[in-house]
Amino acid sequence: MSVKDYIRTIPDFPAPGIMFRDVTTLFGDPRGFRMAVDQLLLPWAGVRIDKVVGLEARGFILGGAVAHQLSAGFVPMRKKGKLPGRTLEQAYKLEYGTAVLEVHDDAIRPGEKVLLVDDLLATGGTAEAGLALIERLGGGAVGCAFVIDLPDLGGRALLETAGHRVHALCAFAGH
């Protein structure tokens, strides 16, 4: 089996015409979850990684597991208003409107090497905001790792055009 086999598709969620790729079925299966974490790590073997950034919320699950396997620190990037300490924020575009991503202002030290992890790469807006925050804190992004890529939405092209290394375990056509 591949990682893709563990992902459930839910039609018309959250809106008609959307095929929602549900990774909770992947997380709930011990073999599938372990396979995903191991495969997310693979391209970074031998690369210095000081911190793993997980994007809210499913990126926390994956990022924490990846950070543990790498013996690296874990940094959560959250939606605005969820972190208790002093933060930096970065606005980004959604399909309809904008949102804000935040990180503690002391979460990444200058010169640290950082891997960004999330479950899904769609338009790339959230990942782009996360990468901007890493850079603003003085960190260096070694790359981005995702379980799912939705190539029709252009996120991978956006990140790669900006010079970022992108690794995804599987891809689905459409939205």
Residues with a known catalytic role = 58, 95
What CA–CA distance (Å, rounded) separates 79 from 28? 25
What CA–CA distance (Å, rounded) separates 35 from 80? 32
What CA–CA distance (Å, rounded) separates 121 from 171? 9
Contacts of 30 (CB under 8 A, 6+ apart): none
Pair 25, 106: CB distance under 8 Å: no
What CA–CA distance (Å, rounded) separates 52 from 60? 10
